[in-house]
Structure 1
Amino acid sequence: MIDLDDTDRALLRALAEDATQSAGALGRRLGLSQPAAWRRIRRMEEAGVIAGRRLVVDRAALGFGVTVFLGVKLATKGRVSLEDFERAVTAIPEVQVVQHVLGLFDYRLRVVARDIADFERVLRRRIMTLPGVGQVEANVLLTEEKRPGPLG
């Protein structure tokens, strides 16, 4: 574990807002030199605090207007391995996130589709045919807002 000071946390917040900012721009924003900002970022990357930088895609702009969270309970845990289910579900392009969870369901999936009819097609033809799928519960995303994380 790495000790982070207030400047490190400010750098993380700034990168969380826009990870494309240069070390020079971040330094100017936080009162650091470009090399000092770069060294701090590099130290956090090497320590695993910064695990990568991701591209955020506007799914609606690409024609994927529906997001559905699926709770999936496996029917036959003994006969179908979790790895078989995970391997099969991650091969479905509309499934954006696969989370193995504790609770009523075994998995939580984030699925995107063009519309409800497209989601129904994905559900019937792809998800319900996966090995071991038993009970499924769908929750359609209505709105989503980004909330400040633990550093906010």
Structure 2
Amino acid sequence: MTDLDEIDRALLAMLARDATTAAGAMGKALGISQPAAWRRIRRLEEAGVIRGRRLDVDRAALGFGVTVFLGVKLATKGRVSIEDFERAVKAIPEVQVVQHVLGLFDYRLRVVARDIADFERVLRRRIMTLPGVGQVEANVLLSEEERPGPIG
């Protein structure tokens, strides 16, 4: 674990709100120089605290108005390798997130689709034909609020 001071936490909070904020603007807001802010950001990246900066795309604006979380239980874990399932599911472009989890299901998938009919097509033609798929449970996303989570 990396020790973070107040300035590090403030930089992380600013980047969590807007990863495009310039180091000079962050430094000015925090009372430090642009080079000092940049050095701190680089140190946080090198320490693995900052793993990258991502583009936040509005899926609905791109025509993907439906998000579904799928719980997937593999039918026979011994006969189909987990690697085969993971490789096949990661090749489906509508599957945005693949999580290997403990519990009732073996995997949790985040799937985007244009509408419910499009989701049904993806489910029937792509997901249900994956190697080892047994039980599947779908939960349609109604609303979502993203939070940056604890920093520090």
- Per the TM superposition, whether the score is higher than 0.5 is yes
- What RMSD, in angstroms, separates the aligned Cα atoms of the two structures? 1.0
Secondary structure of 2:144's aligned partner: coil
Q: In the alignment, which residue of structure 2 is the partner of 1:93?
A: 93
Q: In the alignment, which residue of structure 2 is the partner of 1:5?
A: 5
Q: CA deviation at 1:147?
A: 2.2
Amino acid across the alignment from 1:104: L
Of all paired residues, the percent bearing the same amino acid is: 87
Q: Distance in 2 between matches of 1:68 and 1:2?
A: 35
Q: Per-residue CA shift, 1:71-126, capped at 9, x if unaligned?
A: 00000100100000000000000000000000000000000000000000000000
Amino acid across the alignment from 1:136: V
Q: In the alignment, which residue of structure 2 is the partner of 1:25?
A: 25
Q: Distance in 2 between matches of 1:18 and 1:49?
A: 16
Count of residues paired in the alignment: 152
Q: In the alignment, which residue of structure 2 is the partner of 1:77?
A: 77
Q: Distance in 2 between matches of 1:53 and 1:61?
A: 21
Amino acid across the alignment from 1:103: G
Q: In the alignment, which residue of structure 1 is the partner of 2:102?
A: 102
Secondary structure of 2:122's aligned partner: helix
Amino acid across the alignment from 2:69: F
Q: CA deviation at 1:26?
A: 0.8
Structure 2's unaligned 5+ residue stretches are none
Does residue 135 of the first structure (1) align with residue 135 of the second (2)?
A: yes
Structure 1's unaligned 5+ residue stretches are none
Amino acid across the alignment from 2:102: L
Normalising to structure 1: TM-score of the pair?
0.98
Secondary structure of 2:123's aligned partner: helix
Secondary structure of 2:92's aligned partner: coil
Q: Per-residue CA shift, 1:27-65, capped at 9, x if unaligned?
A: 111111101100100110111110101111100000000
